[in-house]
Structure 1
Amino acid sequence: MSSFVPATVRVTGTPNSNFLVGYPGISATLPRIEGKVEIRPYPTPGWAAPMRISFIKIALQRRETIHPAADNIKKHLAAPRKDITDIVGTEMLLYRCAAGKEHDTVLCMDLPFVIFIPYGREGVEVARRVPPASLSLPSRTAETFYELVVTVQQGKSDQKKFLFPVPITRYETLSSFGMYDKPESAEQTSDHLVTLGISIPRWSFGPLDPISVYVKVSPNPDWMNKAKRVTVKNITISIEEEIIYNHEGDEPTKKTRSLGKTQQQVGMKLPEAGYFTNLGLVFPAKDLRDNDGIQPRGDRKFPVYNVSGFTTTGSLYKIQYFLVVKAQLGSAKDIILRKPIIVCPFDHATCKEEMRAIEEAAKEAAKISRENPMAPAQWVANPKDAEGLKTLGFCQGGTRYGEGRGECRNSGMGRGEVI
């Protein structure tokens, strides 16, 4: 046991749960990452050698990249991909060797940790900003993903970093919240002759959610003689996705695309009482299955969404959505009204189901102190600790006559059991 071996690292969550506890974006649930860093010797044939451990740290790392020209083959010589990497919250020291020593000699370690995800409002303090949700747009024009980074220093050797993906979803845009589940209205005027007004029952939508729009085209009573000559040709409603790349930089790039639209032909003179109608469309959803009806395994860094994008703001990009209503008129200028809406990655039914779970998570979080979350105690086994050998799957049998009556039956790779 005179030789030392490199360490292997594994991060596990709490039993029967995920790394992520709570609901990011909802401060009452104290969103956090709970888990345990398991340090074991590198598996080698024969006896398990101890490890030199100087210190072990863990941090939540966010990586964000943009490449606006990635979806256009003709622009393959455009500017390269831009990316940033930063630490969410603060780095956490899990273990340090005794003072005055270069390293400690250990056999195996279990180091619990709790990392709180910032939930403060956006402001001057960047460290308090709520991190954006994990997202990957088509052609990787924009990406955000998170990783747990475990840094291990073993004596005089170089530091080694071990990365573990952690998908993060935000929940403050659920359409079942009262702030979104209420009617919204807007108006737009053209030539002071005609006013276009709309009303929607709520303004947060998810995949396959119906969008109902009440449209009113009314004349200006002060210009009624001229307004009577106006003809309402057709009315169109559509959903536009607007992505601003490098929105905080010097040269922002804006791209807009239509996700879906519907049109109603009218072809009539504008009545004195105005023209009223109801139009609707279904918010488009992404088909997750291939041609054979099989859903392929997704990337571990990103949650599985039924939408390609949703309302979010990162450091390098910003995604927002608009409900666009256009009234094409005769004898007057066309009217275009753009109403901002919120797009949630979940449909309305799923949002309602999440409400009860959020309430339960808030009750559990009320019992937790952010300053002292009461994580389980660390477990460190020394080379002479029999329990440490047992954890690794090894045992000690009698070596001299009269010392222990057991024999060790080898089960391969130096592992065995006493019989």
Structure 2
Amino acid sequence: MTAFVRVSGPPNSNFLVGYPGISATLPRIEGRVEIRPGQGYSQPVHVSLVTVCLQRRESIHPSADSVMRGHLASPRKEITDIVGKEMLLYRSPSGRESEAILSMDLPFVIFIPYGRGGEEIARRVPPASLQLDKRTAETYYEIMVTVQHGHSEQRKHYFPVPITRYDTLSTFGMYNRPEAAERVADHLITLGISLPRWSYGPLDPVSVYIKLSPNPDQMHKAKKVTIKTITVSIEEEIIFNHEGDEPQRKTKTLSKHQQSINVRMPEAGFFTNMGLVFPARELRDSEGILPRSRREFPMYAVTGFTTTGTLYKIEYYLVVKAAMSSTKDIQLRQPIVVCPFDHAGCKEEMEAIEQAAKDAAHVSPDNPMLPAAQIIRDNDPNGLRALGVSVVGGQKKPLIE
């Protein structure tokens, strides 16, 4: 006799409580496993064990976006991990194989790891749900409920949960400090850049302060240099199997802006400000309609963002290139962080994150104070009444109070 299994979240809210990546909000999954008879709502179902866990599925297929469809490519590589711990919600009393159950509501809370525990993989913050184009890489999460019916039968039920990370928000102070870098070519010219901030989301302006300065010890040579063009671009680098033997890198230029200069190198150096807009993905179709999002993946206005999984890693760089005559060209790659939300969206989240941190201050991970489980057994005196059924003349009828 199979059971009907459902997981429901807290009233008027999602399963996910708190903000993954921000430890002060104690990110966790709260819900209730509801078990009912699969056939006929008053037909008891035999249950011996119920467990729940959060499962992460990750897969990569680096050659999925290849133009050559017929070539022999490596197959899709997949891994499945349990996030945090599996929880035992119910076990039948010792000495009995199972119990006949009319209905079961089992509350649970699964705390999502939030400590960056270095080598301790179990404590690492899990990566955000993501699906790249053509499924070259994807990560998604699901709540897995295992119900054991006696010795013979065990059934698993899956419920997708999208998970977003909030530790790359561009409104955080650590991303709003200027970042500077320098690179020298032929001991003649130094390229220096400065970024006012280094976390960006869709349609955020990216501005960079650029300085080309001559080497004062070789001024006569440096003065002969002509600055032809300066190019600023944003590159996305996906490293597949980054922890394995043969990492595979794929780099793509997302946006590019070139400025013609054609100026001889001044003694005081050459200074300019350049900028571009971080590219966004159009979520609406040609008729302006938002397609229905898949339950496993949140809808992002970016194709990818800074993230590190077990099988893949996505990194972003701001690349500044100065093309010159009479000396080598200089290229500087500065790492930046890409967030799935734009700056205005990040600002909106800040207040909610503060509130979630205040709420989490009252929650103890060791004793989360769950409501009691509600189990109605077949032999309970008022068992049928709880289902709204009464026995009249040996027949089950709807109970009218």
* Alignment correspondent of 1:265: 260
- Contact 1:69 1:75 survives alignment (8 Å): no
Query: Aligned letter for 2:398?
Result: G
Select which of 328, 332, 339 maps to 1:333: 328
Q: Which of 113, 129, 134 is the aligned partner of 2:108?
A: 113
1:351-370 to structure 2, matched below 5 A, reads: 351-370=346-365
The answer to whether the aligner puts 1:51 opposite 2:45 as a matched pair is yes
Structure 1: which amino acid aligns with 2:50?
I
- Where does residue 418 of structure 1 map in the other structure? 400
Deviations 1:74-111 (A, max 9, x none): 15420100000010111000000001110111110000
Give the letter for the 1:350 counterpart: G
Provide the residue aligned with 1:13 in structure 2.
9
Q: Distance in 1 between matches of 2:372 and 2:73?
A: 52
- Residue from 216, 226, 239 that aligns with 1:221: 216
Over residues 302-340 of structure 1, what are the superposed CA-to-partner deviations in whole Å (9 max), with x where a residue is unaligned? 111000100000000010000000000010100000000
1:83 corresponds to which letter in structure 2?
Answer: E
- Out of 195, 202, 211, the position equivalent to 1:200 is 195
Q: What residue is the counterpart of 1:289 in the other structure?
A: 284
> For 1:7-406, what aligned pairs fall within 5 Å after superposition?
7-44=3-40, 48-76=42-70, 77-385=72-380, 388-392=383-387, 394-396=388-390, 398-399=392-393
Q: Secondary structure at the match of 1:299?
A: coil
Q: CA deviation at 1:388?
A: 4.2
Amino acid across the alignment from 2:7: V
Paired with 2:118 and 2:213, the residues of 1 have a C-alpha distance of: 42
Query: Any idea what the Cα deviations from partners look like across 1:160-215, whole Å, max 9, x if unmatched?
Result: 00000010000011110000012111111101110111111100000000001111
Identity of matched residues, % = 64
- The whole-number CA distance in structure 2 between the counterparts of 1:136 and 1:391 is 44
Counterpart residue type for residue 62 of structure 1: R
Q: Distance in 2 between matches of 1:75 and 1:121?
A: 40
Q: How many residues align?
A: 400
Counterparts of 1:288 and 1:389, CA distance in 2: 50
Counterpart of 1:159 in 2: which secondary structure? strand
Q: Which amino acid aligns with 1:353?
A: E
Task: Name the SS of the counterpart of 1:40 in structure 2.
Answer: strand
Q: Determine helix, strand or coil for the equivalent of 1:107.
A: strand
Amino acid at match of 1:229: K
Aligned in 2, Cα 1:246/1:105: closer, same or farther, shift over 3 Å?
A: same
Q: Residue type of the partner of 2:276?
A: L
2:173 alignment partner, SS class: coil
Q: Say if 1:236 and 1:261, in contact at 8 Å, map to a contact too.
A: yes
List alignment gaps of at least 5 residues for structure 1.
401-407, 409-413
Distance 1:382 1:216 in 2: 76
SS of residue in 2 equivalent to 1:359: helix
| 1:101-149 alpha-carbon deviations (Å, 9 max, x no partner) | 1011111000000000011114221111111000000000000000100
Shift of 1:43: 3.4
The CA deviation at 1:418 is 2.5
Q: Which position in structure 2 is the counterpart of 1:403? A: none
Q: Secondary structure at the match of 1:179?
A: helix
TM-score, normalised on structure 1? Answer: 0.93
- Distance change >3 Å, CA 15–CA 415, structure 1 → 2: farther
Partner Cα distance (1:219, 1:16) in 2: 63
What are the ranges of 5 or more consecutive residues in structure 2 without an aligned counterpart? none
Instruction: Give 1:33's aligned amino acid.
Output: I
Q: Which moved more, 1:380-389 or 1:122-131?
A: 380-389
